[in-house]
Structure 1
Amino acid sequence: MDSVSLYSFSSFGWLTLQSIPLAAWPTFVISLLTPDFRHADVVQQHLARSLGFSQLAIGLLLVILTGSLPLTSMVESPSGSISPFTNAAVLITMLYHGAYALNTWVQYNYTRQAGYLLGAIGYGFFAAFGLWCLLFGSDKGHISKRTGADKRTSGFPFKNAEADKRRGKEL
């Protein structure tokens, strides 16, 4: 499993973990996050359920658009092909996770409730993981078939004397 697939499935799991309680028991979740216990009104329940369904949809879209869950049979698709929407889907969800990490961190600083801190840590992790996938995850590198080394490396600021000896260059 490559890093983008790992990111998409783990991000889907994180969003699903949060969406199920929001959609199924909005009054319970709202009562946990408020300082005084009170029942949620109809508008709060509607917004909590909407957020839960939206998180589930974002997770499913991420898994499908990154190509982690193929929509065609293996016979029809060429081997090693990746979805053209991979980087866009990872970028959008990375920004989503980053915005929610900031939001939950601000809420934690305001209320000092551990639920917001756990949310900030989780969202921050997935924002950082998404950024890593954008920068390094989808690049296979330029690996030489003959030597197995990465062709994009340079000798600056130090010379690679061993490589120069093998190539027959004088030092």
Structure 2
Amino acid sequence: MDVFYAYTYGTAGWMAIQAMPLIISPTVIIMLLSPEVREPSPLEGYFARSLGFSLLTLGLIIALLTGSIPLTSTTTSTAITTSQTDPKAPYAVPVLLISLLYHSTVAFYCYARYTTGGTFCFALGSVVSAALGSVALWCVMFASSGGRISRKTGADKRTSGWPFKNSESARERKKVARGKSG
């Protein structure tokens, strides 16, 4: 499985895990979070369920707009591309960046709450969100382009000859030069 797809499924799954207790039993969640024992108000229950539905929706949108769940019957290449023929092209990288920002913010918030309160749940949330954010950062840096492959030589244009000589690229250039002259 591609790292990008693993990230989108992991993000959707983590958001679903967070959403289920909020949707199923907001009363228990609110009672656990409240410093005094009391019955939660209907407004608190509404906000808890709304947050749960929002997390589920956000996870599903991330999976759909990044192309992890295909919306067409034909599949394209697994790399994140920016070509106009790819139906997910306009949305994959922006959604990836927004979800990276989300995971980074949640990881920072959970870590700050963990250091002040020492609750295990915040530590778990911080670790999982930081891991998902790290994978998203990796996808943004390394998986968001098809590379710069030369049409003539087939070599990657981003390589250089410093500090070591790129003998493979030099060999391909000689082949191309011989083909043009002969």
Find out whether 1:104 has 2:110 as its counterpart: yes
TM-score (norm 1): 0.81
Give how far 1:160 is off.
1.4
Counterpart residue number, 1:16 = 16
Give how far 1:39 is off.
4.0
Q: Deviations over 1:75-122 (max 9, x none)?
A: xx6x33351200111111111111111221222122211011111111
RMSD (Å), alpha carbons: 2.6
Matches within 5 A, 1:59-138: 59-74=59-74, 79-80=76-77, 81=86, 83=88, 84-138=90-144
Amino acid at match of 2:115: N
For the structure 1 residues 110 and 159, does the alpha-carbon distance in structure 2 shift closer, same or farther, using more than 3 Å as the test? closer
CA distance in 1 between counterparts of 2:67 and 2:166 reads 43
TM-score (norm 2): 0.77
Find out whether 1:142 has 2:148 as its counterpart: yes
Give how far 1:51 is off.
1.1
Give how far 1:65 is off.
0.4
Find out whether 1:159 has 2:159 as its counterpart: no
Counterpart residue number, 2:42 = 42
For the structure 1 residues 101 and 143, does the alpha-carbon distance in structure 2 shift closer, same or farther, using more than 3 Å as the test? same
CA contact (8 A) 1:4 1:138 kept: no
Amino acid at match of 2:135: F
Give how far 1:35 is off.
5.3
SS in 1 for 2:161: coil
Question: Where do 5+ consecutive residues of structure 1 fail to align?
Answer: none
List structure 1 runs of 4+ shifted beyond 6 angstroms.
Answer: 144-148
For the structure 1 residues 22 and 165, does the alpha-carbon distance in structure 2 shift closer, same or farther, using more than 3 Å as the test? closer
CA distance in 2 between counterparts of 1:160 and 1:58 reads 48
CA distance in 2 between counterparts of 1:21 and 1:159 reads 56
Q: Identity of paired residues, percent?
A: 37
CA distance in 2 between counterparts of 1:147 and 1:71 reads 36
CA contact (8 A) 1:104 1:117 kept: yes
Question: Where do 5+ consecutive residues of structure 2 fail to align?
Answer: 78-85, 175-182
CA distance in 2 between counterparts of 1:108 and 1:47 reads 23
